Amino acid sequence: MALASVLNSDCGDFSFESTQPFPNRCGAGHSSQGFDATPGDGLSFFVKNSLSDTDDGVERKIEFLHGTTTLAFKFQHGVIVAVDSRATAGSYIASQTVKKVIEINPYLLGTMAGGAADCSFWERLLARQCRIYELRNKERISVAAASKLLANMVYQYKGMGLSMGTMVCGWDKRGPGLYYVDSEGNRVCGDLFAVGSGSMYAYGVMDSGLRQDLSVEEACELGRRAIYQATYRDAYSGGQVNLYHVHSEGWTRVSQDDVLVLHQQYKAQQ
């Protein structure tokens, strides 16, 4: 159910394979690291976990769909992209240092929410398609076209269990571009998006602070603060805030701040 997946709760009704692996960093088999488990992998180093059985005998895998907070917004100097870096496997924090921004090419960024494998695979495929477009047409692909390519690719797999909520951000001849694309088939253009279990908290901070005439520093601080507030409230978001700025020359990595350090900073400012 859509609401359950956004709130990353495991009351969704999913039917799964019979074993639950211990989370490990090797990524072997049914690794539940990252924000998704990929069923059907060839390797399988897993251990039967009786905790995953429920009383009625139906074994549920913990679906950590979209257990993250990512956001992006347009302003007069381009697009700010801010993401957290936590990966959870149920209530276990698998990693605090995940890179959730995928650098498609020097002027296009994609964010990652949902299944880590799904996001990075399809966005790498998108990078390949974008490069082919550039070679064929001798000009950079527009953000609209790149996002449409991605949306059409995943639409073919609709209903087959892909889990991907991504924002395609870039700068093209029409100026800053920001599209939200997901594995349900949504593709919308907009000025402001937040995706993931912490997205609602991020929306609150961003909507109340966003103005068109922000300077670059103010916009970065807004993005950083919004992710921090989301990590404060959402158990499935945390780690560091990775911040990128997309401008007419391409994207720049602005900063990486640990949310616990930010917490002390903001507290001191109060």
Partner 1 sequence: MEYLIGIQGPDFVLVAADNVAASSIIQMKHDYDKMFKLSEKILLLCVGEAGDTVQFAEYIQKNVQLYKMRNGYELSPSAAANFTRKNLAEYLRSRTPYHVNLLLAGYDDADGPSLFYMDYLSSLAKTPFAAHGYGAFLTLSILDRHYRPDLTREEAVDLLKMCIAELNRRFILNLPSFNVRVIDKEGIHDLEKISAGTKTDTN
Residue ranges in contact with partner 1 by CB under 8 A = 2-3, 5-6, 151, 155, 158, 180, 182, 184-190, 193, 199-200, 203
Which listed residue (38, 68, 69, 231) is catalytic?
Answer: 68
CB 178 → partner 1: shortest distance, Å?
Answer: 11
CB nearer to partner 1: give 21 or 198: 198
Q: Active-site residue 68, yes or no?
A: yes
CB of 187 to partner 1, least distance (A): 7
Compare residues 108 and 195 and give the one whose CB is closer to partner 1: 195
d(CA 123, CA 84): 18
How far apart are alpha carbons 53 and 129 in whole angstroms? 43
SS (H, E, C) 179-211: EEEECCCCEEECCEEEECCCHHHHHHHHHHHCC
> Under a CB-based contact definition with an 8 Å cutoff, are residues 72 and 79 in contact?
yes
Closer to partner 1 by Cβ: residue 1 or 132:
1
Residue 226 CB, nearest approach to partner 1 (Å)? 14
Sign of CA dihedral 160, 53, 86, 263: positive
Instruction: Give CA separation, 4 vs 13, 14, 15, 149, in Å.
Output: 9, 11, 15, 28
Q: How far is CA 99 from the centre of its chain?
A: 9
By beta-carbon proximity to partner 1, the closer residue of 139 and 191 is 191
* Cα distance between residue 148 and residue 41, in whole Å: 29
Q: Are 101 and 109 in contact (CB under 8 A)?
A: yes
Written as six digits, the tokens of 231 are 């990590």
Whole-number minimum distance, CB 16 to partner 1, in Å? Answer: 22
User: Which residues are catalytic, by number?
Assistant: 68
